[in-house]
Structure 1
Amino acid sequence: MNRRRQAVISLSAAVISGILVYGVYLLQLRQIKLQETVEVVVPKQFIATGTQLGAEHLKIIPLPRAAVLPEMMTDMAEAIGLETSVPLGSGEPLLRWKVDKYRLLPGSGQSTFQIPREYVKSVSSGIRAGDEVTVYLSDETTASRKLYPDPIRVAGVKTAANLEIDNPKNPNVLSMANDDKEGMYASRRDANGTIDSINLNLTEAQWLTMDSACKGGTAKLIIAFQASSIKEDEQ
């Protein structure tokens, strides 16, 4: 009876020892794998130009460390909210130059519309290309209201001489690309010229809503600068 018990104990000890050894081996293998690969951000599917990236568009995959380039994004949080400057293929590592925080091109489903002068009642003088604006409708026959619930991206603002309004010594778009809030503010203060025309990136439905509201002549647009264009991100 004692011999049988000892045999059972010895067998159990051997099994436990084997499991422990195998567990250590798996941990070592996993550690080696982590050391040899780097997680990078890739699109889940094809993404068109002008798409604002969200968590639903992206995933993380491991790549061999030797294949990882400095411009590849490794943090999904860094990519969320950015817009694609070029089409992205499914599963290809996301490179920083392919996305941008501030874009002048129309997004997916949008076109750039030059707003007819007769549609506009007033435009904030501080508006520059790349800003987000709030569009209101001032109507003589009905109560004034916000035309769109979401902010609209400005593609360009020009003078009567068809020149983009900016400060040549301190371009607003350059400051915007460098995330230089002070430079963007200074550019607005020092730029010369009066806004004569403004281009907005709108969907077809947004343009038709605007055109239907303004073409009768009784309603006009008030285009207001939105502070979120240059304010610090709130966490």
Structure 2
Amino acid sequence: MNRKRNALISAAAAVLSGLLVYGVYMLQLREVQFQETVTVIVPNRFISAGERITADMLGSKKIAKASYVPEMVLEAEEVKGLESVVPLGLNEPLLKWKVDKFRLLPSRSQSTFQIPREYVLSVSNGIRAGDKVMLYLSGEGVESARLFEQPVTVASVKTSANIEIDDTENPNLMSMASGDKEKMYASRRDANGMIDYINLNLTEAQWLELDSLCKTGKSRIVIAYSPQSLDIEQAAGRPEEGP
């Protein structure tokens, strides 16, 4: 009886000893993983949204290999000349989705379409290039409704003289990129010119839907600027896939 009890005790002790050794091994392995580092690119100062990134804005920082994710930038050359989509914090590992090139250009799935004037019932004179706008359908015998669920990007707005509408001393796009709502308001107030041409970045499916609804003349669109459009984009956190 004693021999059986001793055997059970010995077996339990062996199991506990094995678990202890395994636990120590895992802790040591984790420590080694954290000791291994990766050098990533970081801003060496705060960078506002919309700033063009230059070499003097960038530095490097070592982080634990276990903390590295593929979205982190490893070489400064990857982001030099790009534009910050969101504000970038000091010494914060730079993620690829936070920078972009030619933000007013359409994404891979889009094209820039000039909307025919006969398709447009009204367009807010406060709209500027880079804004997100909502499109609404209107017309006799047509139920008024939002045309697309998500806002679309304005590529440009011009007068009949083919001049971009903006306040030259306080461009709206720069104010919007910096998040300065007071300057954004001022640029809309001080800019002059009626919008005759508006270009939107649309997918092929969006353009075909818009064209099929408006080419008969029974339906027209209302193009409206709303601060909520910008909030929708910011709430998404990640920008559209670039060109």
Same fold (TM over 0.5): yes
Shift of 1:94: 5.0
Runs of 5+ consecutive residues of structure 1 not aligned to the other structure:
41-62, 74-84, 86-92
Summarize the alignment of residues 9-158 of structure 1 with structure 2, pairs less than 5 Å apart.
Answer: 9-10=9-10, 12-37=12-37, 65=65, 72=72, 95-96=96-97, 98-99=99-100, 103-158=103-158
Question: Alignment partner of 2:33: what SS?
Answer: helix
Distance in structure 2 (CA, Å) of the matches to 1:4 and 1:158? 94
Aligned length: 192
Distance in structure 1 (CA, Å) of the matches to 2:2 and 2:204? 87
Aligned-partner residue type, residue 188 of structure 1: R
When the two structures are superposed, what TM-score results if normalisation uses the length of structure 2?
Answer: 0.62
- Is the alpha carbon distance of 1:125 and 1:6 closer, same or farther for their aligned partners in structure 2, counting shifts above 3 Å? same
Per-residue deviation, residues 99-156 of structure 1 (Å, max 9, x unmatched): 48x9322223321111112222211011111222222233234444433333222111
Distance in structure 2 (CA, Å) of the matches to 1:188 and 1:132? 15
Per-residue deviation, residues 176-235 of structure 1 (Å, max 9, x unmatched): 333334433333223232212100112223223322333333433221113223449569
When the two structures are superposed, what TM-score results if normalisation uses the length of structure 1?
Answer: 0.64
Aligned to 2:183: 183
- Is the alpha carbon distance of 1:218 and 1:35 closer, same or farther for their aligned partners in structure 2, counting shifts above 3 Å? same
Distance in structure 2 (CA, Å) of the matches to 1:171 and 1:187? 6
Question: Alignment partner of 2:202: what SS?
Answer: strand
RMSD: 3.8
Aligned-partner residue type, residue 116 of structure 2: P
Aligned-partner residue type, residue 185 of structure 1: Y
Runs of 5+ consecutive residues of structure 2 not aligned to the other structure:
41-62, 74-84, 86-93, 237-243
- Is the alpha carbon distance of 1:186 and 1:36 closer, same or farther for their aligned partners in structure 2, counting shifts above 3 Å? farther
